[in-house]
Amino acid sequence: MPEHNFIAAAFSQPHETIPIWIMRQAGRYLPQYREVRSRVSFLDLCHKPELMTKVTLQPIDIFGFDAAILFSDILIPLAHLGISVTFPNGPPKLEPPLREPADVDRLNLYDIADKLSFVLEGIRRIRGALYDRVPLIGFCGSPFTLLCYLVEGGGSKDFTETKKFIYTYPDAASRLLSLLADLVGNYLKLQINSGVQALQLFDTWGGILSPSDYSRYSLPYVQRVFELCHTEGIPRTLYLGNTACFLHLLADLNCEVISIDWRTELTLAGRQLPTKAIQGNLDPNILFAPTATVIAAARTILETMRDRDGFIFNLGHGILPQTPIDNVRALVETVHTFRR
Amino acid sequence: MPEHNFIAAAFSQPHETIPIWIMRQAGRYLPQYREVRSRVSFLDLCHKPELMTKVTLQPIDIFGFDAAILFSDILIPLAHLGISVTFPNGPPKLEPPLREPADVDRLNLYDIADKLSFVLEGIRRIRGALYDRVPLIGFCGSPFTLLCYLVEGGGSKDFTETKKFIYTYPDAASRLLSLLADLVGNYLKLQINSGVQALQLFDTWGGILSPSDYSRYSLPYVQRVFELCHTEGIPRTLYLGNTACFLHLLADLNCEVISIDWRTELTLAGRQLPTKAIQGNLDPNILFAPTATVIAAARTILETMRDRDGFIFNLGHGILPQTPIDNVRALVETVHTFRR
């Protein structure tokens, strides 16, 4: 039986206390993180193993979360494809955007172990610093989500360029998605070799697709990624926004955990994903409510999932920058003092 | 039996050809609309019955849609509550935003028939100009969606202010929602008295809530609106984004049609809403694809819904400003030549 509650829950195995971590737990809502960021740019922070270690551990030390997540960004592996990836204030910028099949063929394949060695070094340092107190989660963006960024050249409201691209050039889209699946799968495998003990794949933008397009343009590549990084003892999680729209497609996916958003009812997800662990799903905005409301909302989730070994408490989306610290503390305490 | 296919389909009654209209069909994608807008501001356009008539009829004349929808904006009824509503380029701006319970008590109730007489006059003119060729749809925003605009002071990405408000001041939120439900319900009733032959309530932002919060903060007020405007022979439609997350809550709602987004599978919606007509649900971005792809995607929807009397073809969201006109024409022709 795994020694960490988080790993046990991810494999739907018995354990005592429900584990909790939160997406973007090492981030701007933390004064200690903002202090580090006041001296270094976001991109520099992602490139310096010592600072990555510092900010990865901050939320563990401050709140006692049950898992750490590597401090990095889903766009890091794209920078060496021959695309400029920058983080001006606001959304990221990728230049030039991919708009034609020929743009895909121009992408520069590279040696991940070499070019992304700073991430792998960061992982080794973080593992050393954690002393196995809690497991370390590695991550990457899904192939489809990375395609969105590459084609839009950044964030988007309607993802019109992405959809124009996939509907106009389905073959080039499939070539790009295959290339990205190999990149992501191999990158995650290297993360495991460097010490991460769990994986999360962020299909942040998968939820902009209709279910039938999701089945065509995202799911097969998620599956390919999970095949490539499959490793005994390392649970794999898929995060996907608007999860409720896609639940019927996820029951047989080759991963252990599905991380659901707050719009997706836990009981519905539990019923439709009988063999998976569920992670989620408090609305990050509830953390702006009075503390008593936060605690009540957390308890409702805990009561609902009491009997399911496969449950990890998390938010339904990343924590927001202005979130009050005291409510995060109250949330963690509520989860940790809950008796199953 | 109703004489218009649109009305028959909305009441799930037999009819020959599947009707089609599209959200924002009188809008910026149309050169003829842009021509009118080049001479008048958006807000002026909403206030001038003659111009409202002109742009409402444009898509009917150009494409032969099976329903016209009143040219107006969901924020129009808010302007007389004592809030400044402006449409600078980009998202609308509402000032001052509501942030405290006292802000709700300061709202100015008003005589709708008097202050919004220009809308009602627009409806009478449009009906006159349509000569009953196609029915005219009236509309308004749902109480929760209007609350979002009032509290955020405009659009939003995360709706943090809205959620702070409802979670911190649930009583003031419920007072505001009741006030808005009465306003919207009475306004829609006046629209019917002035000549609209169908209604659509836009719960544009309802989909930001978890299902349990949706049940508390949106649905009861939607129900109240539909009660207030219930009129023999006038079908009522609810549009709600991220519909799949909320299908299980909508089966018993007191309306005739549910308009679903492209993330929601038609068969799933059909199964979960056995007594409702379904409206939707082509991804508006598919209209940027090659014409053959548009036609194929439309045919898939038509084949799926062939046997359901209660089906109205529409997009899953409003048509986008850059949409190619020829694809809209091909879409309408595909629907109109489809044999059930």
Report which secondary-structure segment, H or E, holds A141: strand A136-141
Q: What is the DSSP letter of B220?
A: H
What was the pLDDT predicted at A340?
85
What count of residues does chain A have? 340
Q: Which residues on chain A place their C-beta less than 8 Å from a C-beta of chain B?
A: 158-160, 163-164, 167-168, 207, 209-213, 242, 244-245, 248, 262-265, 268, 283-286, 288-290, 293, 300, 316, 320, 322
Residue B84 has pLDDT above 80, yes or no: yes
pLDDT digits (tens, 9 = 90+) for B272-319: 999 999 999 999 999 999 999 999 999 999 999 999 999 999 999 999
- Which residue has tokens 């494809």? A81
Q: Backbone dihedral region of B319: left (phi > 0), alpha (psi from -120 to 50 degrees) or beta?
A: beta
Is A30 strand, coil or helix?
A: coil
Average pLDDT of the residues of chain B: 97
* Band of pLDDT at residue B1, cut at 50, 70 and 90: low
What rounded mean pLDDT belongs to chain A?
Answer: 97
Distance between A1 CA and the closest CA of chain B, angstroms = 35
d(CA A179, CA A175): 6
- The letter for the amino acid at B145 is T
Percent of chain A with pLDDT over 70: 99
Check whether A46 has a pLDDT greater than 80: yes
Q: List the single residue in A with minimal CA-CA distance to B207.
A: A263
* pLDDT of A1 higher than 70: no
What is the spatial order of strands in the sheet that B136-141 belongs to?
B68-69, B136-141, B198-203, B236-240, B257-259, B277-282, B311-315
Spatial strand order of the sheet with A136-141 comes to A68-69, A136-141, A198-203, A236-240, A257-259, A277-282, A311-315
pLDDT score for B91: 85
Q: Say whether pTM exceeds 0.90.
A: yes
The shortest C-alpha distance from B264 to chain A (Å) reads 6
Contact list in A for residue B272 (CB cut-off 8 A) is none
Question: What confidence tier does A261 reach under pLDDT thresholds 50, 70, 90?
Answer: very high
Q: How far apart are CA B45 and CA A323, in angstroms?
A: 41
Does A73 participate in catalysis according to the annotation?
yes
Helix (H) or strand (E) holding B238: strand B236-240
Retrieve residue A338's tokens: 């809950």
DSSP conformational letter for A19: P
What pLDDT digit, counting tens, does each position of A315-325 carry? 999 999 999 99
Maximum distance among all Cα pairs of chain A, rounded to whole angstroms? 57
Question: What is the CATH architecture of B5-337?
Answer: Alpha-Beta Barrel (3.20)
Helix (H) or strand (E) holding A151: helix A143-152
Could you give the CA distance from residue A153 to residue B279 in angstroms, rounded to a whole number? 33
- The residue behind tokens 């979130």 is A323
Q: What percent of chain A has pLDDT over 90?
A: 96
Check pLDDT > 90 for residue B66. yes
Angle at A132 between CA A127 and CA A136, to 5 degrees: 55
Domain ranges of chain B: 5-337
Whether the bond into A281 is cis, omega within 30 of 0: yes
- Tell me the C-alpha distance between B264 and B285, whole Å: 15
Answer for the pair A83, A96: CB distance below 8 angstroms, yes or no. yes
Model confidence over B146-183: pLDDT tens digits?
999 999 999 898 999 999 999 999 999 999 999 999 99
- Does residue B112 contact residue B183 with C-beta atoms inside 8 Å? yes
| Contact present, B47 and B53 (Cβ < 8 Å) | no
- Taking residues B248-275, report their average pLDDT: 97
**Tell me: the pLDDT tens digits for A94-151?**
999 999 999 999 999 999 999 999 999 999 999 999 999 999 999 999 999 999 999 9
- Residue A76: pLDDT band by 50, 70, 90 thresholds? very high
pLDDT value, residue A212: 95
User: Residue A282 contacts by C-beta under 8 Å, 6 or more apart in sequence?
Assistant: A262, A297, A298, A301, A313, A314, A315, A316, A331
Residue B34 pLDDT more than 80?
yes
- What is d(CA A223, CA A254) in angstroms, rounded to the nearest whole number? 6
Mean pLDDT of the B320-330 span: 97
Q: Is the pLDDT of residue A2 over 90?
A: no
Host H or E run for residue A198:
strand A198-203
pLDDT digits (tens, 9 = 90+) for B194-246: 999 999 999 999 999 999 999 999 999 999 999 999 999 999 999 998 999 99
pLDDT band per the 50, 70, 90 thresholds, residue A89: confident
- Cβ neighbours of B164 in A, within 8 Å: 285, 288-289
Set of chain A residues whose Cβ sits within 8 Å of the Cβ of B211: 263, 265
Closest CA to B198 of B222, B241, B231: B231
pLDDT for B305 equals 98
Task: Report the distance separating Cα A260 and Cα A243, nearest Å.
Answer: 6
d(Cα B252, Cα B275) in Å, to the nearest integer? 9
